[in-house]
């Protein structure tokens, strides 16, 4: 592929250590491996799945490209050409602020840079890039394949504005059947595959994994509890009672029997589902013939669970064992890439991506750049099917082979079942694009309505919503949720564990003060520090245009004092107070130096504000529950007033796990021996603080 007009992005750092070669015009700058990671703002990122967004098109850095700007950029590139190697390598173009504009790779770096120095014939996007270039950095590599891998690694780390950017590179979840215990456990896994066992995936979403694990538990009765919980059991837990576990912890099944269940589960996940179902059907018929109807019913239920898994998977190919299918749809200057995962002959889900790319790039160019970035931190399958043939298809296949350690075929099929799979993915890409376009248009109208209703100086591009959560001052946590032109920006959510020891338990003002001071002190420091790592949040700026607080006039006044003390200006504020009896639709909006507002219950702007507030509440409650559950694991149920060791044992014996106690209704808690109605109410309120 000619990267004069396109960007090629691939995976992983190269196998061999590249030797950097810098041009005379290049400033001293660390390589991508030395680039510091993004600062997480004294907080953790949300574990939620990131939401893909339609990107905005790239704009000029300094207006129209003039002849003077092009001449200056060409002169900088010509200086780099004199010292550039004729061997393969990766080059980076930088602007006057030393921001990386573009990362590219070439079989001959000297020839590629020379093509940028020619006086005419550049597309508008390339001309803008040349005009902004003041220096070039070069890294030599041994092979072109190595350059392709390094290029993708640099693009993902540096996020240059003139490259195609994969906007969500979160790792995919897998199913793991452990291999380090005599009674293997089935669980969801994300991240490095270091624990012994067999991994199956990737799955398109956490929801797909959870549904599959639940069905597999019903089908194969493999345990899902932790090893520590397993070792401490004296009687089977609730999962055994509801026939989702065979109870190896207490000897309800012997070692050979449990080993057989695990073997069947591995066989099913490895693609031998027909054989497993046939064997279960034979066992069911045999049990029925022997009049062992309870055993026959158990096999019947397991068969039904396996059928449920396969029905949820939708289309399952007949001739494709392992493949990823990519289809791209372009419309109105935007691109949508739909990815389907097929493993062991089964469909394990699909997902839509909306990469940021210039409107001038063709579908093949966007798809080629997308692919190499996509596999930067993900293991490729043996077959990759594409809706469009890409120019460097063979080179990409070679790079994926190097990464995977086995042969990887990359093809754009023209007939047969493989072509049908690509066509199905392309249909899904069109539909996903239509849904996202409709959502984006709606979001734009809501933001414009918010500007008008609240009297904001401009349509907000970044909205930050803050909320706190605690129980009588314990496990206090604050949270920040971010929304922008394309909806919630989940990879910028933040949580703040409240650290101050001087806070009075339950002091909401004090908690809000700590959260906002930590957030905006850091933001002010980053803005003032020219050497601080620059964040490139594609469509959403770092500074908020609007801050929304959950509370009334008191919370609003407190935030105004905090901002005044920090010197924060030009940030609009609004506080949202719940209506009488906490009724949705009767909220009051408090604004600085203006009378309070009450919108009509069916006003779309009010509904939008409710969505923003509720998302912050959902996120902070989730963070708070994680802290609380951690404390429960450490301190036990004695943390609940009036629940001592005796009642704790009674609850665990009755429900089996803390999770089941948390799920239990008030009536179910009252049935536990030794737990009075008052104690049941305390337990229920502890786990459900927001229910009446």
What pLDDT does residue 540 have?
67
Tally of domains in the chain: 4
Same domain, 597 and 654: no
Tell me the percentage of the chain whose pLDDT exceeds 70: 78
Whether the Cβ atoms of residue 101 and residue 132 lie closer than 8 Å to each other: yes
In this structure, the answer to whether residues 613 and 467 fall within a common structural domain is yes
Mean pLDDT of the chain: 77
* pLDDT per residue as tens digits for the range 113-157: 999 888 888 888 888 899 899 999 999 988 888 888 888 888 888
Secondary structure of the chain: what % helix, strand, coil (to 5)? 45, 15, 40
Tell me the mean pLDDT in the region 306-335.
75
pLDDT tens digit sequence for 616-670: 888 878 765 666 555 554 455 656 767 777 777 778 777 766 667 777 888 888 8
Structure confidence by residue, pLDDT tens digits, 220-275: 889 998 888 888 888 888 888 888 898 999 888 889 889 988 988 888 777 666 67
CB atoms under 10 Å from CB of 552, counted, come to 15
Domain containing 104 — which CATH number?
3.40.1440.10
pLDDT tens, 659-687? 677 778 888 888 888 888 888 888 887 77
Highest mean pLDDT among 410-414, 487-491, 575-579, 602-606: 410-414
Q: What is the CB neighbour count within 10 angstroms for residue 523?
A: 16
Domain assignment of residue 422, yes or no: no
Give residue-wise pLDDT tens across range 539-570: 567 889 999 988 888 888 888 888 888 888 88
Residue spans of beta strands (DSSP E) within 190-251: 197-200
The answer on pLDDT for 53 being more than 50 is no
User: Phi-psi category of 339—alpha, beta or left, where left has phi over 0 and alpha has psi -120 to 50?
Assistant: beta
181 shares its domain with 139: no
Best-predicted range by mean pLDDT among 86-90, 289-293, 628-632? 86-90
Token pair in block for residue 493: 């959510």
Which residues is 496 bridged to in the sheet? 478
Last residue in a domain, options 158, 189, 209: 158
Say if 59 falls within a structural domain.
yes
Task: For residue 31, name the pLDDT band (cuts at 50, 70, 90).
Answer: very low
Domain annotation covers residue 447: no
Token pair in block for residue 88: 């393969």
Higher model confidence: residue 457 or residue 202?
Answer: 457
**Which CATH number belongs to the domain containing residue 655 in this structure?**
1.10.150.20
- In a domain, residue 604? The reply is yes
For residue 296, is it within any domain?
Answer: yes
Position 307 confidence tier, pLDDT thresholds 50, 70, 90? low
Residue 278 confidence (pLDDT) above 70: yes
- Whether residues 141 and 57 share a domain: the answer is yes
Q: Is 510 a domain residue?
A: yes
Domain that holds residue 674: 640-687
d(CA 566, CA 125): 41
Q: Are residue 508 and residue 541 in the same domain, yes or no?
A: yes
Question: Is the pLDDT reported for residue 81 higher than 60?
Answer: yes
> H helices then E strands: how many in the chain?
20, 19
Is residue 114 domain-resident?
yes
| Residues in contact with 36: Cβ distance below 8 Å, sequence separation at least 6, in sequence order | 533
Residue 572 has pLDDT above 50, yes or no: yes
The verdict on 542 and 665 lying in the same domain is no
Please check whether residues 612 and 653 belong to one and the same domain: no
**How does residue 691 score in pLDDT terms, banded at 50, 70 and 90?**
low
Residue 53 shares a structural domain with residue 88:
yes
| CATH code for the domain in which residue 528 is found | 3.30.420.340
pLDDT above 80 (res 481):
yes
- With 80 as the cut, is the pLDDT of residue 69 above it? no
pLDDT in tens, 425-452: 999 998 888 888 777 778 888 899 889 9
146 with 187, same domain: the answer is no
Whole-angstrom distance, CA of residue 448 vs CA of residue 441: 11
376 occurs within a structural domain: no
- Residues 253, 146 share a domain: no
Last residue of a domain, one of 580, 600, 627: 627
Q: Which residue has the higher pLDDT, 220 or 205?
A: 220
pLDDT at 62: 37
pLDDT at 387: 93
Please write the tens of the pLDDT for every residue from 375-397. 877 788 889 999 999 888 888 88
Asked which of 312, 342, 371 is the last residue of a domain, the reply is 312
What is the per-residue pLDDT for 285?
A: 82
301 and 237 assigned to the same domain: yes
Mean pLDDT, residues 574-593 taken together = 77
Does 199 share its domain with 147?
A: no
Residue 348: pLDDT band by 50, 70, 90 thresholds? confident
Which residue blocks in 232-272 are alpha helix, DSSP H? 238-241, 255-269
Q: Which SS3 state, helix, strand or coil, does residue 147 take? A: helix
Strand 100-106 relative to strand 89-94, pairing: antiparallel
pLDDT at 416: 87
Angle (deg, nearest 10), helices 553-566 and 508-528? 30
pLDDT at residue 9, as a whole number: 38
At residue 4, the pLDDT reads 40
- Is 582 or 56 the better-scoring residue by pLDDT? 582
């Amino acid at each position: 592929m000619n990267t004069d007009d396109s960007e090629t992005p691939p995976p992983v750092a190269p196998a061999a250590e590249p030797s950097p070669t810098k041009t005379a015009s290049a400033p001293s700058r660390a390589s991508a491996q030395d680039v510091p990671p993004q600062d997480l703002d004294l907080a953790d990122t949300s574990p939620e799945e990131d939401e893909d967004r339609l990107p905005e098109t790239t704009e000029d850095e300094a207006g129209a490209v003039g002849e003077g700007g092009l001449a200056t950029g060409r002169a900088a590139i010509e200086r780099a050409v004199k010292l550039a190697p004729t061997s393969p390598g990766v080059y980076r173009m930088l602007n006057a602020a030393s921001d990386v504009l573009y990362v590219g790779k070439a079989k001959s770096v000297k020839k590629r840079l020379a093509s940028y120095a020619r006086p005419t014939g550049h597309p508008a996007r390339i001309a803008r890039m040349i005009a902004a270039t003041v220096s070039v950095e070069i890294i030599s590599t041994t092979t072109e394949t190595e350059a392709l891998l390094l290029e993708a690694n640099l693009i993902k780390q540096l996020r240059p504005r003139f490259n195609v950017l994969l906007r969500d590179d979160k790792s995919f979840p897998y199913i793991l059947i452990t291999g380090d215990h005599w009674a293997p456990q089935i669980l969801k896994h994300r991240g490095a595959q270091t624990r012994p066992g067999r991994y199956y995936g990737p799955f398109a979403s956490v929801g797909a994994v959870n549904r599959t694990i639940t069905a597999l538990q019903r089908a194969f009765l493999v345990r899902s509890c932790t090893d520590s919980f397993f070792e401490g059991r004296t009687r089977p837990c609730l999962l055994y009672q509801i026939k989702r576990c065979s109870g190896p912890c207490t000897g309800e099944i012997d070692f050979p029997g449990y080993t057989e269940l695990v073997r069947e589960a591995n066989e099913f996940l490895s693609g031998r589902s027909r054989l497993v179902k046939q064997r279960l059907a034979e066992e069911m018929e045999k049990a029925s013939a022997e009049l062992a109807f309870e055993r026959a019913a158990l096999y019947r239920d397991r068969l039904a669970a396996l059928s449920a898994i396969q029905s949820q998977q939708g289309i399952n190919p007949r001739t494709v064992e392992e493949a990823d299918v990519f289809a791209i749809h372009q419309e109105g200057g935007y691109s949508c890439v739909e990815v389907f995962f097929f493993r062991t002959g089964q469909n394990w889900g699909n997902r839509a991506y909306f990469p940021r790319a210039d409107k001038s790039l063709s579908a093949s160019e966007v798809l080629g750049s997308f692919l190499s970035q996509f596999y930067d931190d993900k293991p490729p399958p043996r077959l990759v099917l594409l809706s469009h043939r890409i120019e460097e298809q063979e080179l990409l296949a070679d790079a994926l082979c190097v990464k995977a350690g086995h042969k990887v075929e990359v093809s754009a099929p023209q007939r047969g079942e493989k072509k049908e799979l690509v066509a199905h993915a392309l249909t899904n890409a069109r539909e996903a694009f239509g849904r996202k376009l409709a959502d984006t248009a709606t979001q734009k109208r809501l933001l414009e309505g918010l500007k008008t209703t609240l009297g904001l100086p401009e349509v907000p591009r970044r909205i930050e919503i803050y909320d706190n959560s605690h129980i009588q001052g314990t496990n206090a946590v604050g949270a920040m949720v971010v929304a922008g032109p394309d909806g919630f920006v989940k990879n910028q959510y933040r949580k703040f564990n409240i650290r101050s020891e001087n806070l009075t338990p339950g002091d909401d003002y004090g908690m809000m003060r700590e959260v906002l001071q930590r957030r905006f002190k850091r933001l002010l420091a980053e803005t003032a520090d020219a050497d601080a790592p620059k964040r490139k949040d594609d469509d959403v700026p770092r500074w908020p245009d609007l801050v929304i607080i959950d509370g009334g006039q008191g919370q609003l006044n407190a935030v105004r004092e905090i901002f005044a003390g920090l010197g924060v200006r030009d940030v609009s504020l609004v506080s949202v107070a719940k209506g009488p009896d906490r009724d949705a639709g009767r909220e009051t909006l408090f604004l600085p130096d203006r009378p309070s507002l009450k919108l009509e219950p069916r006003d779309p702007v009010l509904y939008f504000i409710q969505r923003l507030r509720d998302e912050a509440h959902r996120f902070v409650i989730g963070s708070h529950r994680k802290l609380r559950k951690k404390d429960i694991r450490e301190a036990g149920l004695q943390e609940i007033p009036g629940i001592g060791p005796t009642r704790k044992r009674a609850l665990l014996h009755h429900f089996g796990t803390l999770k089941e106690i948390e799920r239990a209704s008030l009536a179910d808690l009252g049935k536990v021996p030794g737990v009075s109605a008052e104690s049941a109410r305390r337990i229920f309120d502890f786990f459900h603080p927001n229910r009446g």
